[in-house]
Chain A
Amino acid sequence: MRKHLFNVGAILQGLGITFKYMFVKRPTIEYPSIKKQHAPRFHGLHELRRYADGKERCIGCELCSSACPANAITVIGAENTPDDRVSPGERHAASYEIDELRCIFCGLCEEACPTDAIVLTPRFEMADYRRGAFVYSKDRLLVPSDAGVGTPPDERPNGIPADLGRVAEVKSTMNVDRGYSATHRGEVLKTERKGLAG
């Protein structure tokens, strides 16, 4: 009998807990309208960057393609000619395709790239109805010539480009203000690649 009475106490305690939780602030981020703030080095859709003079950074060396563990990248290089210089070096990428369905967003292409041409942006909304649409070719990967040079991951402090919409203020384990530098790898890359950044 005493045991049963204790059970009644437990039920009341449980009711108290559920009632209390009705008034606790909910952690839900209502996704399509509000987006979560990512880690500064979030791996999303790729981007091919340019130099300030509008030339493409990619030199068609295919290092990204060979670094890719998922075989998602296909690069076909071509020689630059004096009247049509696409990139500052000798060669450029005539065709650059990434199959985003194969891609595992590991970021090895970004690490392999000697000119910081291919970077991963925080964009992750790539859904489409057609399989073919997931093969991104240069026309969709390359930063448009009127849209600047593209941001190197080192200088992307808040993880999300402004055009992605409202961002939820969520306490992150990472110091987002310090951005990229907040991670150890970021610190290392920043010093190692100083000459190429910007």
Chain B
Amino acid sequence: MLIVLVKSAILLLVVVTTFAYAMLFERKILGWMQLRPGPNRVGPWGLLQPAADAAKLILKEDLTPKTADPLIYRLAPFISLLTAFAVYAIIPFGANGDGSPWAIGDVNAGILFLLAISSIGVYGISLGGWASGSKFPLLGAVRGTAQMISYELSMSLSFVGVLMLAGTTSLTGIVNAQERVWFLIPQALGFIIYVITAVAETNRTPFDLVEAETELVGGFHTEYSGLRFGSFFIAEYVNMLTVSCIATLLFLGGWNAPFGLTFLPGLGWFVLKVGAFMFFYMWLRATLPRFRYDRLMTFGWKVLLPIATLNLVATAAWVALH
């Protein structure tokens, strides 16, 4: 019990620090890609920027609109934050020599837990937008709910291909099944679908219609300020980190070293892969403009879902024949 608590505390610390620096590096990378230097005023190379941002967020006034539903308005950021962090209870970051994973809990139905928790995450956005009692948040929340539910379908289907190849729903088992060849290769189509849906699931550009600052002011978090806004902000980045971890575990071989390059420990490779995926996220944000909402829906239902189903059928046939 105590060990689990200590592990959780350490993990929370690591995740929050990663969030802080992911935010900084995102701003840096966006800056570089737009020919700007990025934040560089606080500390050397702007490395203390996250601390300054945190202090600012804490000191900001906490506003609740008169029209808001006070209880749900206050609850929504916590739902977002809680679900974002809860996933880390089962994500393995490496393995001991005897095959036991470095994770707080080794759940044999890890993927199902992941999907369940990330489905609850949508409540944070929809309740937050609805409880604000204001039109832009409501629009953002409606969009977000529709978008997250539509894309979660294709995302789950892209998981199933991996599950069939690995023959297990345990995340450790899936990583162990990739010792010889990463699922990125037999499940290339599934990986592409996963990457697209993951961006949509975390409401990031080009699928950031939930926030859409050019049309909806701030989207679902328009009315939030201070630490409550900060909670949504943290949740967004932690979710980014989560989907990067899942991509690594499911498609990029987890902590397995590629081509037998074992000079880095397993954890090192894991961090490297997650980092590369996070970078891809930021790269995408610097490159692509936002989708139009009807096209987002058309793309999700008429393109991604059929392709994901096709991929699933093909994988099933392949598994059945071998």
Q: A: which residues have CB within 8 A of B?
A: 4, 11, 14-15, 17-19, 21-22, 24, 26-28, 30
Contact = CB atoms under 8 A, between A and B. Distances in A.
A140 B286 CA distance: 49
A26 B37 contact: yes
Given A28-B37, A30-B37, A22 B32 contact: yes
6 contacts: A4-B303, A11-B287, A18-B33, A26-B35, A30-B37, A30-B40
Given A18-B287, A28-B36, 13 more contacts: A11-B287, A11-B288, A14-B288, A15-B283, A15-B284, A15-B287, A17-B287, A21-B32, A21-B33, A21-B35, A22-B32, A30-B37, A30-B40
A26 to B, nearest CB: 5
Going nearest first, the 4 A-B pairs with the smallest beta carbon separation are A18-B287, A18-B33, A22-B32, A14-B287
A108 to B, nearest CB: 38
Nearest to A12: B287
B34 interface: yes
B145 to A, nearest CB: 27
A26 B35 CA distance: 5
Majority-rule SS of A interface residues: helix
B35 A27 contact: yes
Interface centre among A4, A17, A28, A30 (most CB of B within 10 A): A28
Nearest to A25: B35
Nearest to B34: A21
Contacts of A21: 32-35
Majority-rule SS of B interface residues: helix
Contacts of A14: 287-288
A146 to B, nearest CB: 38
Interface residues of B, number: 14
Nearest to B286: A18
Nearest to B35: A26
Contacts of B286: 18
Contacts of A26: 32, 35-37
B305 to A, nearest CB: 15
Contacts of B33: 18-19, 21-22
B167 to A, nearest CB: 32
Contacts of B288: 11, 14
A18 B286 CA distance: 7
A73 B322 CA distance: 93
A130 to B, nearest CB: 27
B132 to A, nearest CB: 34
A22 B36 contact: no
Contacts of B303: 4
A172 B286 CA distance: 30
A5 to B, nearest CB: 12
B256 to A, nearest CB: 27
A28 B283 CA distance: 21
B57 to A, nearest CB: 26
A11 B195 CA distance: 14
Contact of B283 (A19, A27, A30): A19
Interface centre among B32, B36, B303 (most CB of A within 10 A): B32
B159 to A, nearest CB: 23
Interface centre among A4, A18, A24, A27 (most CB of B within 10 A): A18
Interface string B278-289: 000001101110
B89 to A, nearest CB: 34
A8 to B, nearest CB: 10
A15 B303 CA distance: 22
Interface string B8-35: 0000000000000000000001001111
Interface string B245-289: 000000000000000000000000000000000000001101110
A24 B33 CA distance: 9
B106 to A, nearest CB: 37
Contacts of B287: 11, 14-15, 17-18
Contacts of B32: 21-22, 26
A19 B284 CA distance: 10
Contacts of B36: 26, 28
A6 to B, nearest CB: 15
